[in-house]
Structures are given as structure tokens and as C-alpha cells.
Amino acid sequence: MSGKIFVAHDALSGLLDDLSKKFKVWIPQMMDQASGHIAFGVYAPGKKPELTRRSRLSPKKILFPSMDTLFKFTYVKDPKDPVRYTIDLKESFDNGPTLVFGARPCDTRGFQTFDQVFLKGQYKDVYYERRRQNTLFATLVCQDSDTACFCSSVGSGPADMTGSDMAVIPIEGGYVIEGLTDAGRKLVETSGSAPSPEQAAAAEQMKRNTAALKIGEDDLTGYADDLTRRFTDMDFWREQVSPCITCGVCTWVCPTCYCFSITDEASGMSGERMRSWDSCMFYLYTLEARGHNPRPTKMERYRNRVGHKFSYFPKKYDGMVSCCGCGRCIRTCPVSIDIRKVVKELKETADDRA
């Protein structure tokens, strides 16, 4: 077989029904009609994937939940000597076979950043690793972009299938789904029937056309040293960041922001150690025990956000920018701070700005 199937629009729910018997299937879906809120949710028969409008929240939580129990603990008293106790620990994993259907290329590619940090370093994050290994991505070849998208500016593009197991290619009447990895091909081949030669050709054409699109005006890679040069130019940061309300929305919606906090949530003798999302835009994020804060204002905090993605990360990981260009932070920032503009202006000199 060709490793490809055709799924007509009206057969999509049937396919998802079948897949959801084997996988926990996540799809972008309309969560609230009134505010047009789209986010990734678990598929259940009757739910419709939202493949034409963008999701406001990224699929990050699928591999990196906003709250994740690392283990459970109970203090067990020694009945003979009640001041002594032992600690009973229980592993906690929630990682069955999972499929993400209908993420966009930027969404899927966002996990490349996680992979570098959570899998490829000296220490592996077992929680992330197990989920990662058990999750397949069927990614939509992205046909449209809005004014905040800039995937091509960060070394990617609307047909970039990095990290995807399957490509979902929209054509007249439905989708051609193409297996890209062994696991993806295997799943595709057991999930439907091959496209007609015309359909296969239309899908190829669609992929080519999409790959030729350039989404985003400027190349935003290669700014690592400009950030360093600008580091202490507080006038620059003041100009860029004054409107920021340090709400952290940019970090919550971002598919590549991976900062977290660890807390023990206990009551009485038992509880859980929990990892939850944290945000570098918060004052408490860098507050040190003795009261010193190396990033006391929003200027240092936003500088860190940009620096991390466009300078420190690429310096450490072979030039890879840890921003996938999804534009979510731009779309949802309450004061319309535009990370593209900030990065671009890193290069300008003081004279350009006068």
C-alpha cells in the first residue's frame, strides 16, 4: 500500500470514532461558541474537529499537562515508635496511547523545543518521555495564515512536518492522510482505503503549493548576538515592554514555553508532588528565598522571554530558535506586544530609533 488514505469530509467522524477506540484522541474543538474559544480537547463521538479556525491554546498540555502529579506520598507512622515514620511513595503516570489529530505544523513542531530540553540532555524527564513515546501526531498541512503567523520566519513553514507521524492534507472533498513515520504508516494503512490517483496528485500539489508559501516577512533566526548586545540597553526594553501587564498569557498559550513549578500539595499525612505550569513573566518566578529578585521588573522578565527563545536557546542547541512562529502570544496579548517586532528591532542601532 501507499501509506496514504483518503477520508471524505463526511467520513471523518467515522475515522475518529475508530481511532478513539485505540487511542486517546485529541482534536482542536470549539469550547465556547460565544467567545469563539478553540482549544484541544479529547475526542468523543459527536465532537467535531475545528480544522479551519486556529486554536487559541496550543496542544502543549497533551504532553506537558498544566498540572501533573509526579508521585503520591503518605507518611506511615511506626506503631511501636510514633515519632518515627516511613514515607510510602507511589508512582503516578498517565500515558496511554495518544493521538493528536489536526494540530498545525507550528503546534507539532513546538514539541521539538521540549525534546531538546526534556529528552536530549544529561537528564531525561521520564514523565514527558513516556507521553512523547506514546503519542502520534497527525498534523494538518496549513492552508491559511493570519496576521500574527510567522512560521517561515523561524526556520519552518506551513507544510513543515517535523515531528509529525502523519500529514493531513486537505483536498477537494476531504483529506488525504499520509503516513510519515513507521508508526504513522502502519496506522494509516489499517485505517481506510487508498486515494485515487487524482486525489493523490491533488494532495501532492497541495503540499507543494503550501511548502512554497512564506509566512512571515522577516527571517528571525540569527539574532543571538544582537540580544546579548542589547542586554543592558534598558531604554530599548522600556520602549518595547512599557505596555506589558505581566499577565503571563504569552507564556501560557505558547507551545514552546516549558517553565514549571513543583509543589507538594498535601493535607494531613498524605499528598502529591505536583508539577504545574509557571511563567517567567511573574515576579515570584525568580524571587529568591532571601528576598532578592534578579528580574525585579517586567523589563528584565520580558527580556528573558525573548532572550531565551531567540538567543540563549539557539546558542545552546545548534542555532535552533525556541519559537515555532505560531503567533499565539501576539494574538492573545491584551496589549498587543509583538514578539516579531521586538526581535527585529534588536538589530537596529540607537540611531535608527531616534
Q: Kindly list the residues in this chain that would bind other proteins in the complex (CB under 8 A).
A: 31-32, 34-37, 39, 52-54, 56-57, 66-67, 144-148, 242-243, 245-249, 252-253, 261, 263, 265, 274, 276, 279, 282-284, 287, 330, 332, 334-338, 340-341
The cell 486515494 sits on which residue?
195
Tell me how far, at minimum, the Cβ of 287 lies from ligand SF4, in Å. 17
In the bound state with other proteins, the residue whose beta carbon lies nearer, of 167 and 274, is 274
User: Any long-range contacts for 305-308 (C-beta under 8 Å, 24+ apart)?
Assistant: 305/250, 305/251, 305/257, 305/280, 305/281, 306/227, 306/339, 306/342, 306/343, 306/346, 307/227, 307/231, 308/280
Q: Which does 254 bind (CB under 5 to 8 A by kind): other proteins, ligand SF4, none?
A: ligand SF4
Q: CA–CA distance from 103 to each of 38, 55, 59, 144, 163 (Å)?
A: 12, 9, 7, 13, 11
In the bound state with ligand SF4, the residue whose beta carbon lies nearer, of 20 and 55, is 55
In the bound state with ligand SF4, the residue whose beta carbon lies nearer, of 23 and 258, is 258
Residue 79 DSSP class: T
- In angstroms, the CA 221 to CA 201 distance is 34
Beta bridge partners, 6, equal 176
Question: Within 10 Å of residue 315's Cβ, how many Cβ atoms?
Answer: 15
In the bound state with other proteins, the residue whose beta carbon lies nearer, of 196 and 276, is 276
DSSP assignment of 140-196: EPP----TT--GGGGT--TT--TT-SEEEEEETTEEEEEE-SHHHHHHHHTSS-PPP
Beta bridge partners, 71, equal 91, 273
Binding ligand SF4 (rule: CB under 6 A), the pick from 8, 201, 262, 335 is: 335
Binding ligand SF4 (rule: CB under 6 A), the pick from 329, 342, 343, 346 is: 329
User: Residue 264: exposed, middle, or buried by beta-carbon count in 10 A (0-12, 13-18, 19+)?
Assistant: exposed
Tell me how far, at minimum, the Cβ of 149 lies from other proteins, in Å. 8
In the bound state with other proteins, the residue whose beta carbon lies nearer, of 32 and 318, is 32
| 3 state SS of 283 | helix
Which string of x and - marks every residue 272-301 that binds ligand SF4 (by CB under 6 A)? ---------x--------------------
> Per rule CB under 6 A, is residue 27 in the interface with ligand SF4?
no
Tell me how far, at minimum, the Cβ of 343 lies from other proteins, in Å. 13
Tell me how far, at minimum, the Cβ of 216 lies from other proteins, in Å. 12
- In angstroms, the CA 132 to CA 115 distance is 9
Tell me how far, at minimum, the Cβ of 179 lies from other proteins, in Å. 27
Residue 116 DSSP class: I
Residue 100 DSSP class: E
Q: Which does 34 bind (CB under 5 to 8 A by kind): other proteins, ligand SF4, none?
A: other proteins
Binding ligand SF4 (rule: CB under 6 A), the pick from 57, 326, 342, 346 is: 326
Tell me how far, at minimum, the Cβ of 298 lies from ligand SF4, in Å. 7
Binding site for ligand SF4 (CB under 6 A): 244-250, 253-256, 281, 309, 323-329, 333-335, 337, 339
